[in-house]
Amino acid sequence: MSMSEEKQHSDFNNLVTRHLSGELTPGEERHFQEMLRQDPKKQSRVDEYRKIWDSAGSVADRRSYDLDSEWDLMKEKLPGIETRNASSRSLLFYSYRIAAALVVGLLFAFAWIYATRVAGTEKVVAENEPVEVLLEDGTLVMLNRYSRIRYKKKFSESERNVYLAGEAWFDVSGDPSRPFKIDAGSAMVEVLGTSFNVNAYKENAAVEITVESGVVALTAKLDQQEQIVLRAGNSGTYNKNNKELKLIPSSNPNKISWKTRELYFDSSSLEEVTELVNRIYNTNLVIVNQELASCPITVTFRDQTLEAVLNVLELTLDLEITRSGDEIRLDGPGCED
């Protein structure tokens, strides 16, 4: 392989790694996507690498990394790598050699983890319960279930950047000289000092912001010419499909119930109530008699246990509550129209 080809390989490796980890700037991301459109072979490679990147997620939280054993794991995923001669080794193997030498082009998640640890990057993952994170600038982050956040242990003197996948509530420490920016996948959030919630689960059709205090700017990640400004009491969304930003003047307090443990219902249907309770308490309420689904209920729960919530629902709507496996079944005669 010539020096020119090696340079091309390393440049492409670097782009792929930064793309997969969400670190490309909007301009770089547009350039990268155009490159893939013009070269289907590169798109195929990226698709292949993404599968490896995603499958490495369970390894991402290990406290130590053995590059030799991880290479053995990769050989199992991609049989035949060892048998290729020096002149025909794939871009994949070449990328790993570079990663192992800590030079450039960190393509795989394993090598990327190693590099970010050296660079002082921290990653926190919330599994079945919310996790509280205190950043070095004093910003408090409450990470919801099945969410993760990545950030530098020590922010730079000019900016504070974090990367969020999932949902989190932020209480940002004020610092006008260093804007606080959240990369939420398809959307960008920028603040100076405020408290707000970001819902950016990958499977959701939209990224949603709910502001508790201060001012927040929401933009599309790939087109930051347009933005909406949110103030206390506002919500805002960025629709991933139609690329539309939308300001919602009055926010729903239940949007941050997972953090506040406060649930507000005003003539809400039992179906709406069970959906929210399932999400907040990580449980599985099932309405057996569908005539119950539309029954209205007005009630407020403030940091109540699940059993307390069920007792109120049982008494209010004359329910019969039984348990079967992981299901909590709600049954009864229904309610009058």
Q: What CATH number corresponds to the domain at position 322?
A: 3.55.50.30
Q: Give residue 81's domain range.
A: 3-118
Picking from 81, 101, 118, the residue at the C-terminal end of a domain is 118
Residue 336 counted as domain residue: no
Residues 242, 125, single domain; the answer is yes
Please tell me whether residues 79 and 152 are part of one structural domain.
Answer: no
Asked if residue 107 and residue 125 are part of one domain, the reply reads no
In a domain, 337, yes or no: no
Both 88 and 145 in one domain: the answer is no
Q: Which segments within the chain are labelled E, that is strand? A: 121-126, 131-134, 140-143, 147-152, 160-171, 180-183, 187-191, 195-200, 206-213, 215-220, 227-231, 235-239, 244-248, 262-269, 285-287, 296-302, 320-324, 327-331
The reported pLDDT for the residue numbered 28 is 74
Token pair in block for residue 23:
């670190």
104 with 220, same domain? no
Co-location of 126 and 249 in the same domain: yes
User: Could you give the number of structural domains in the chain?
Assistant: 3
Q: For residue 242, tell me if it sits in a domain.
A: yes
* Average pLDDT of the residues of the chain: 80
pLDDT score of 173 more than 60: yes
The pTM is what?
0.62
Task: Assess whether 168 and 248 both reside in one domain.
Answer: yes
Residues 281 and 313 in one domain: yes
pLDDT at 230: 93
102-127 pLDDT, tens digit per residue, is 333 444 544 554 444 445 789 999 99
Q: Which tens digits make up the pLDDT trace of 13-64?
A: 777 777 776 666 666 777 888 888 888 888 888 877 776 665 544 444 433 3
In this model, does residue 300 exceed pLDDT 90? yes
Asked whether residue 316 is assigned to any structural domain, the reply reads: yes
pLDDT interval class at 181 (50, 70, 90): very high
Average pLDDT over residues 186-196: 90
Claim to verify: residue 45 and residue 100 sit in the same structural domain: yes
- 100 pLDDT band, cuts 50/70/90, is very low
Which of 12, 7, 4 has the alpha carbon at shortest distance from 36? 12
